[in-house]
Amino acid sequence: MSDNNGFKSGSNLERVLRAGHFAVTCECGPPKGADVEHLEKKINLVKGCVDAANVTDNQTAVVRMSSIGASAILVRNGVEPVMQMVTRDRNRIAAQSDIFGASALGIRNMLCLTGDHQTFGNHPMAKNVFDLDSIQLLDMVRIIRDEGKVNSGDPVEGGIKMFLGAAANPFADPFEFRVIRLAKKISAGADFVQTQCIYDMDRFRQFMKMACDMGLDKKCFILAGLTPLKSAGMAAYMNKNVAGISIPDSVIQRIRGAQKGKQAEEGIRFLIEQIQEVKEIPGIAGVHIMAIEWEDRVREIAERAGLLPRPAIEA
Amino acid sequence: MIIADPKPFGQVKEYIKDYKRVLVVGCGTCVTVCLSGGEAEVQLLASGLRIALGKNGKNPVILEGTVQRQCDEEFVVPVLDRVRDERIDAVVTLACGVGVNFLADRLGSVPVFPGVDTTFYGASAGQGLWAELCAGCGNCITAYTGGICPIARCSKHLLNGPCGGSEKGRCEVAPNSIDCVWQLIYDRLKKLGRLSELQNLLPAKDWRTASDGGVRRSVREYLQEPK
């Protein structure tokens, strides 16, 4: 399968996880343009705090610098990227070509997603693609990597090394299907999974119990997704308006109850408690901290949660 | 059936404002049922055009007609005859896009303009409401999805289950009006005792049978004339 001592890609994230460390990833959203300086500033903020940083692919369907281009800049700056790729904007021809390009640029992790519908972004009038769904994308990349064949069956010239990720949302419906969908992603090729942000810890525990009962935690590394709440207003907004995110009232009340000007600090305190909580949940291999436009707090979060220094593992 | 919506009146008026003898022609099939292009809609549009263009001092002659189907030669020949015999210099059709094309291919130097926007293949979903149920992809997969089509009815055409935007049976794209089709598929397969089938991976679809494979043709050789 792999000629790299059993590693799928030998990426830092894969080596950290295989060595049994509790992994830490974060997000590094590309700029809405070609502003490299802005991106490099963000990269420096998270450098040394995480094992890899996700580079989003036109998230919420808002046009930004490509995840491949931005990921290559992360590589250049010494932070390992998890290149996200959505099927919304590219058919299987473009996707495969982009994956070869990404591999050639030294990108070793990718997260396969369907992507947010374009109605949520800044080009709701665009034509979408959805030639594949996220599971079919995983399947396609796995076959390129492990069997050296593109989707049509033609041989690949020179292999790719890619540690394959998927997303899982334990908070969307139908709940009982969520773990089946995770299983499908794993059999299609997911080596690791990052979950949607968790606020309802009871439901997440229930989801993880179902996943562990099916043995899914033994087949792939599951990273718990967490997003710090900046304010009670943000929490209430997300709870009401973002499908697939549910924030219990008790959490919103807790943030609201903080002293004036201290809601952000309370949000971070809550996040750090959550990190400790998920560490104790059977089957959890790490955390994925999505500090949206809050990269300047990632170091502090990692520090206070006792996640630093990050392990340095020889390639 | 094929569903269509009337085009904005101003748009149609703009198309024909410089013509002198215009035929507005309806279709007696799908667009009659969904109340966008039958005899009644032809009358309504024609009267509107007479009044609006008359105000502008143009006073074109607006003629009316409706045929049973605009997608079959035998029904369309009388329209072509009228265009020639009554010296019509432009046609507005209220048929679906098929009718527009069918006429354009046969009308020689006379222009044809669409009077409706053709939207989808659907069915009645309540009083005054129609909903899309088929995408005409040419390779039906509903045997695996409880007879419910995720290509037509999922906003992302997903084939392997609901995305993270499925909440309380609704699609995040428009929670007030769109069902999450994967919730419907899930519920139906559960009722049919076939839920375990959802564990199977539906592979990447071959879209050649959809419009992505070039203009499509459907052949019944036994009906064709011998060569």
Inspect the interface and report whether the beta carbons of B199 and A140 lie closer than 8 Å. no
Domains of chain B, earliest start first: 2-119 (3.40.50.2300), 136-206 (no CATH)
Record the tokens describing residue A163, joined without a space.
């540690």
Inspect the interface and report whether the beta carbons of B158 and A132 lie closer than 8 Å. no
The nearest alpha carbon in chain A to B198 belongs to A180
CA atoms within 13 A of residue A19's CA, in its CB half-sphere: 17
Q: In this predicted complex, what is the ipTM?
A: 0.94
Name residues 32-61 of chain A within 8 A of B (Cβ).
Answer: none
pTM > 0.90: yes or no:
yes
Inspect the interface and report whether the beta carbons of A173 and B169 lie closer than 8 Å. yes
The nearest alpha carbon in chain A to B168 belongs to A173
What would the pLDDT profile of B124-144 be if each residue is shown by its tens digit?
Answer: 999 999 999 999 999 999 999
State how far the Cα of B123 lies from the Cα of A50, in Å rounded to an integer.
Answer: 53
B161 touches chain A (CB under 8 A): yes
| Distance (Å) from the alpha carbon of A184 to chain B's nearest alpha carbon | 6
What would the pLDDT profile of B183-219 be if each residue is shown by its tens digit?
Answer: 999 999 999 999 999 999 999 999 999 988 889 999 9
Best B154, B157, B181, B206 member to test A by mutation, with max A CBs in 10 Å, is B157
Query: Per-residue confidence of chain B (227 residues) as pLDDT tens digits?
Result: 999 999 999 999 999 999 999 999 999 999 999 999 999 999 999 999 999 999 878 889 999 999 999 999 999 999 999 999 999 999 999 999 999 999 999 999 999 999 999 999 999 999 999 999 999 999 999 999 999 999 999 999 999 999 999 999 999 999 999 999 999 999 999 999 999 999 999 999 999 999 888 899 999 999 998 87
Domains of chain A, earliest start first: 12-304 (3.20.20.220)
